[in-house]
Amino acid sequence: MTIRIGVDTGGTFTDVVLYDEETGRIHTTKTPSTPPDFDRGVLDGIDDILAGTDTDPAEVSFLSHGTTVGTNAVLEGDIPPLGLITNEGLRDVLEIGDQTRPELYDLQQEKQPSLIPRRRRLGVPGRMRHDGTELDPLDEAAVEAAIDELADQGVDSVVVSMLFSYLNDDHERRVGECIEAHEADIEYALSSAVYPETREYDRTVTTVLNEAVKRNIADYLGRLEAGVVDRGVDVPLNVMHSGGGVFSPGQATQFALRTVLSGPAAGAVAARDVATGLGFEDAIGLDMGGTSADVSIVENGDIVRSTEGEINDLPIKTPLIDINTVGAGGGSIAWVDEAGGLRVGPKSAGADPGPLCYDRGGTEPTVTDANLLLGRIRPEAFVAGDMDLVVDRTRERFREAVADPLDESVEAAALSVLKVANAKMAREIRRVTVERGRDPGEFVLVAFGGAGPLQAAAVAEQMGISSVILPRTPGVLSARGLLLADVRTDESRAYRGDRLDAEAMAEGYATLEATQRERFAEMGFDAEEVTLQRGADMRYVGQSYELTVEVDTPLDEAAVRTAVERFHREHERIYGYAMADEPVEAVTLRVTGEVPTPPLRDEPDATEEAADRGTQDVYFEAQGTRETAVYWRPALPVDTTIEGPLLLEGTGSTAIVPPDATATVTDDGSILVER
């Protein structure tokens, strides 16, 4: 590799990072995102970075992309007409759901409309037993009639989800064959291929959502690949997935739902790289962008991952980095509700029209506006001075919408807006730490995103965190993570044994590993380049939830016992107890395949610019308005330590260091803030 490029699309900006392996230098740029055609913003960013660095497109040897297209399709309800064929009597599985409720005691809550209306959900006779043997044969005449009915209703695709298909997919595959043979041009998706694991509702929803976003992802990546080729960049496009790795556009289309946390996952990868590079094995990543804030965890040097998540109150079962997201970004709108309470988000001003201060037609005050009015953003330095911020109009509108209804000064109201946003982020950190048996005080906070460094110190104080890392390029750190992410794929299948049997488990792992090698071969990797890791979802017999533990190779009875011991330890760590005398069962077998990506060997660029940028009046809660020193981050020498209060400006982001803290420049150009 010679030139590596990573492009991360956010709700407001598209971030681009170019890494030159020969010189070890990193170059960055930001361009406005272009909803709904986000590929235009990506291509604009590639054009800008190539032109700004005078790089020949033919020299690009690696291109990776994090996208929000799948997430937006679900959140905005951009779902094509789908049909569902399932077992007779089970057509309402999407309506009934499970016992999970967003608000347990809210009697007035309204459910989201079903992903597929009832008229397009059909049941057919035929059923498998719980052990995968056939109870009733599939009624193929009923299947043909169901396909005819769905074709008459104009469906684009049919989801096939039947009981116990994760153990025996014969009926699902036969329904698929009937759809292929039908004269209508209808696509289909089998739950046994998308999510071959237990739980009927989760499996059906996951398959429906995957099919719902597949076309959007395919169209988007198709346009993007064509645009990249037109620019003379002749390398495969890698797509970031929710599990913290990259895979091919073909795999991204087949498993489209795995891209829903594409951008945040890249940020988590980069946060781990920064924290561990500075000697911190336990870290909390706080990625605050224009629309939302994402929280991730690094524990013992590894990113904490999960096999389940949620989007729009719907369960998604796919390998992903354990990320909590809250509507608190720089563009989050501040508003006063009917009871006189101050709210921040979840609605965002986004990229268009953006915050009030952008002067692009925005009419609602945002978190960014609050920081501007408190002096924490200097108009002349915002986005390297490439965007003119309007202060007077922002102040007047902020007064009308927030300060007057709260009967506060503009500064006090702006500070209140930041406190509400910070409290929302602190709550998400509490959910992934305190509520899961972790002490946040033992972690370092890695703050990034365009808005993260402005809020990090206050959030850390709320959570009892004493150290904060501000990475060297915080505004584009997620794009940097795209250059660090390994090529990674995940495969799983239900374990059909009634007990933990080494031979039966080994047979299951052999099948999964063969599939993994095929997937990597499609991407051009030889088998010896791929590292495979085994895991299993285990639980006490009778439990309704599982924990994933590593399974050693070679797989013998001793390896099974070791896995069970790991399960007991993990159960005690998370839930506070273990039952060593109780039998343990495996529900799902998992295999992860990885090919490592070369690390970045970059160092801070030397600059002749002056570090001292004068002073700025900044409003603090305890001291009120205070004259604050302003520094240009890239010009600060390594090992420099400065006492707060400070404003640290850099390309794409500004950081604030409070009066009771110090800021030290580390060897990699990061800033370590300590109280």
Strands, E, within 596-645: which ranges? 612-620, 624-632, 641-643
| Residues linked to residue 284 through DSSP beta bridges, in sequence order | 297, 445
pLDDT at 606: 62
Q: Residue type at 187?
A: E
Ordered domains of the chain (ranges, CATH): 3-74+216-259 (3.30.420.40), 75-209 (3.40.50), 487-595 (3.30.1490), 612-674 (no CATH)
Q: How far apart are CA 167 and CA 110, in angstroms?
A: 35
pLDDT at 657: 96
Long-range pairs for 549-557: beta carbons < 8 A, 24 or more residues apart: 551/505, 551/509, 555/502, 555/505, 555/506, 555/509, 556/502, 557/502
| Residues linked to residue 63 through DSSP beta bridges, in sequence order | 5, 237
- For 518-546, give one letter per residue: b (16+ CB within 10 A) or e: ebbeebeeeeeebebebbbbbbbeeeeeb
pLDDT at 387: 63
Closest CA to 174 of 192, 186, 157: 192
pLDDT at 436: 85
Residue range 507-543, pLDDT digits in tens = 999 999 999 999 999 899 999 999 999 999 999 998 9
Q: How far apart are CA 609 and CA 606, in angstroms?
A: 9
Q: Which ranges of 53-165 would DSSP assign to H, the alpha helix? A: 69-75, 93-96, 140-152
Q: Residue type at 263?
A: G
pLDDT at 649: 93
Residue position matching structure tokens 């090992």: 639
pLDDT at 120: 97
Burial (CB count within 10 angstroms: exposed 0-12, middle 13-18, buried 19+), residue 132: middle
Phi-psi region of 219 (alpha: psi -120 to 50; beta: other; left: phi over 0): alpha
What distance separates the 2 farthest-apart alpha carbons in the chain?
80
Helix (H, G, I), strand (E, B) or coil at 285: strand
Residue range 548-567, pLDDT digits in tens = 999 999 999 999 999 999 99
Residue range 575-620, pLDDT digits in tens = 889 999 999 999 999 999 999 998 887 766 666 678 999 999 999 9
Q: How far apart are CA 99 and CA 97, in angstroms?
A: 7
- For helices 140-152 and 170-181, give the axis angle rounded to 10 degrees: 50
Instruction: Specify whether the CB–CB gap between 378 and 616 falls below 8 A.
Output: yes
- DSSP state, 441? G
Instruction: Specify whether the CB–CB gap between 588 and 549 falls below 8 A.
Output: no
Closest CA to 324 of 240, 242, 431, 478: 431
pLDDT beneath 50, residues of the chain: none
